[in-house]
Amino acid sequence: MTANTREEHLYMAKITEQTERFEDMLDAMNKVVAANADLTVEERNLLS
């Protein structure tokens, strides 16, 4: 996953969280996690 794609998924996760579309937020975060990269504190907070 490129950094640009990762940023796009994070952006979508934040937007869907704000609109309370939590299933869509989870889908976006699953794509970030699938990249096998370490999560930042902000990314972990989106999953909690």
Predicted local confidence at residue 3, as pLDDT: 73
Q: How far is CA 46 from CA 24, 42, in A?
A: 12, 6
Predicted local confidence at residue 1, as pLDDT: 60
* Cα gap 21→7, rounded to integer Å: 19
Q: Which residues are CB-contacts of 1 (< 8 A; sequence separation ≥ 6)?
A: 31, 32, 34, 35, 37
Render pLDDT for 7-45 as a digit per residue (tens, 0 to 9). 899 999 999 999 999 999 999 999 988 877 788 898 889
Predicted local confidence at residue 15, as pLDDT: 96
Do 13 and 44 touch, CB atoms closer than 8 A?
Answer: no
